[in-house]
Structure 1
């Protein structure tokens, strides 16, 4: 061991740790979230609790035609008004359903209210509750496009709009005074363009996102491209993404998040809920007619065991941001306990805190 190594040992990297909620609700016995109002209001309260506990982010999934969180910007705005420090984000918004210019307006307003804390995950989408649901929202792929192409095209228009450059021709008789030149989308949120993430399910789309200068969100499933364990494939996805980012010549450093279901068993209630899932493993299945996908395992164990399991997860180690998927129907208090257990019993032992 050299002198430098002896004096300056390698320190595990700190991690940004947040939660990711799907915002399920159901009027069934045992659910603490029985209505859409419950899902929305409890999402705000969980974000407030997470900030108080020292977590770094509150992220929300977006699904249409489902009893889950859908339109994200009213929720993000409410969270932004009730918090002051944590990142506020999505994981992810399906761009097949979005008008990218209206998206830029509403996102800009929400980001300004939050003081520049939005971290918006977008993607081309995944299989939904209805057939071609984006058609009901008024969007159609162009001739020769797939629905995935539609989502990526909308994403590219959004990125251009968020640059803040003017593109719309000025009315010679406008209702209000305007600055000279072409007009841009308002309100403009400075820096939001650099806080857009792409939810990638394959190595190829990770490379595409890197070239466009988007951060990377990789969730608990991806295309099964090599047959290796999920965390190994995901780590390799992160590596090719970062290589593509460097080759694109971007000046800033990219961010990478992975999401996991992780439960530290510190109480009898934890063991009752999740003790039986401690031997979880990866699963492989068909995401649609053409795509073979691998679904990553969940983790549930006593804190000391959990630390060793997470240390062996190559993708978690490679990412700078970890999003903990929460069982939101168990209520705000229990989910705050889940977050506190990770932040208190697990993160410090792994050098993340």
Structure 2
């Protein structure tokens, strides 16, 4: 059994073929899709966060709205770039969203990836400390965020407050009990996957990772997941770890499916550079008739290692078509692979 969710980048553009022409279209359709995904039995609704782009950027209003209109589906991000965040304010936002949803938030965070502008976090008012890289800054902020999620008081109360204070040092409010145990780290390398395990975070691994061996993407990702699980066990955490992987998977069951995605079935892993001197491997997409798709996916070692599969969706094609895409996987593919 696997949990199956969708992952949306939340694109919009004034393209004549897009159902998402504006930011408002994307936000409102994201809510509608999450509601529909819960109705068809999907386990999770996850959203990417990208700044300075015509994509979803500020996740907590969206997550809160979805939380208020659904009752069972997990709600998450994949991922929030911590270089852009104020950890203390983020604790407030995340706590509120989690309480609104009744404790269903699965919050993916990371040090981030290359963005639309150079050093975009500087425009948000953040600078690495002396001797830090921007990646170091992202990881430091992540640990500060985790520390404050524990809900321990740290702020000296005013002796003459506007409202009476509880005894002792004060914490950031609202506090959502249990959210600390539902934080995921988006790891691009084996080393950061191990770091995530050591710090008690679940693992999100996308369709892109550092090329550390030249092996096929799914093999490298499976190795990353095994290293994570070993590090989690060595750290002595008392709860079970969770691991998600992202995939672009399309069951070709209609002419529209074949028109939109038929060529993606010919894709293969791609090796290249996403940052200066950092070689990466990009995983292939899957698109085929259901029987062939099942055979292909059965060979994916990383999916076997993960407990959660996030299906990337073409959000610009609208809610109804995306419900069809997700339903096709649940009906024609998941049972044969033992995911359902």
Distance (Å, rounded) in 1 between the aligned partners of 2:236 and 2:163 = 41
| Corresponding residue of 2:223 | 236
1:264-287 deviations in Å (ceiling 9; x for gaps): 000011001111111210001101
Distance (Å, rounded) in 1 between the aligned partners of 2:151 and 2:229 = 26
1:5-24 deviations in Å (ceiling 9; x for gaps): xxxxxxxxx00000000000
TM-score w.r.t. length of structure 2: 0.99
Distance (Å, rounded) in 2 between the aligned partners of 1:290 and 1:106 = 36
Distance (Å, rounded) in 1 between the aligned partners of 2:275 and 2:339 = 36
| Residue 138, structure 1, aligned to residue 125, structure 2 | yes
| Residue 329, structure 1, aligned to residue 316, structure 2 | yes
| Residue 90, structure 1, aligned to residue 112, structure 2 | no
Give the CA deviation at 1:57: 0.3
Distance (Å, rounded) in 2 between the aligned partners of 1:185 and 1:107 = 11
Distance (Å, rounded) in 2 between the aligned partners of 1:17 and 1:259 = 10
Give the CA deviation at 1:323: 0.1
Q: Residue 114 of structure 2: SS of its match in structure 1? A: coil
Where in structure 1 are there 5+ consecutive unaligned residues?
1-13
| Corresponding residue of 2:43 | 56
Q: Residue 76 of structure 1: SS of its match in structure 2? A: helix
Give the CA deviation at 1:309: 0.8
Give the CA deviation at 1:201: 0.2
Give the alignment partner of residue 219 of structure 1, picking from 176, 194, 206: 206
Give the alignment partner of residue 246 of structure 2, picking from 256, 259, 268: 259
1:310-351 deviations in Å (ceiling 9; x for gaps): 110000010000000000001100000000000011001111
Distance (Å, rounded) in 1 between the aligned partners of 2:285 and 2:188 = 18
Give the CA deviation at 1:290: 2.0
Distance (Å, rounded) in 2 between the aligned partners of 1:107 and 1:306 = 37
| Residue 168, structure 1, aligned to residue 127, structure 2 | no
| Corresponding residue of 1:5 | none
1:22-48 deviations in Å (ceiling 9; x for gaps): 000000111111000001000001101
Distance (Å, rounded) in 1 between the aligned partners of 2:29 and 2:177 = 30
Q: Residue 242 of structure 1: SS of its match in structure 2? A: helix
Give the CA deviation at 1:175: 1.4
Distance (Å, rounded) in 1 between the aligned partners of 2:38 and 2:296 = 26
Distance (Å, rounded) in 1 between the aligned partners of 2:297 and 2:177 = 36
Give the CA deviation at 1:171: 1.3
| Corresponding residue of 1:79 | 66
1:244-302 deviations in Å (ceiling 9; x for gaps): 00000100011000000000000011001111111210001101102100000000001
| Residue 340, structure 1, aligned to residue 327, structure 2 | yes
Distance (Å, rounded) in 2 between the aligned partners of 1:108 and 1:269 = 41
Q: Residue 254 of structure 1: SS of its match in structure 2? A: coil
| Residue 31, structure 1, aligned to residue 4, structure 2 | no
Distance (Å, rounded) in 1 between the aligned partners of 2:194 and 2:212 = 15
Q: Residue 300 of structure 1: SS of its match in structure 2? A: strand
Where in structure 2 are there 5+ consecutive unaligned residues?
none
| Corresponding residue of 1:4 | none
Give the CA deviation at 1:174: 1.5
1:151-190 deviations in Å (ceiling 9; x for gaps): 0011000000101111111111121111111111110001
Distance (Å, rounded) in 1 between the aligned partners of 2:277 and 2:114 = 12
| Corresponding residue of 1:128 | 115
Give the alignment partner of residue 21 of structure 1, picking from 3, 8, 23: 8
Distance (Å, rounded) in 1 between the aligned partners of 2:311 and 2:157 = 46
Aligned residues: 340
Distance (Å, rounded) in 2 between the aligned partners of 1:103 and 1:261 = 30
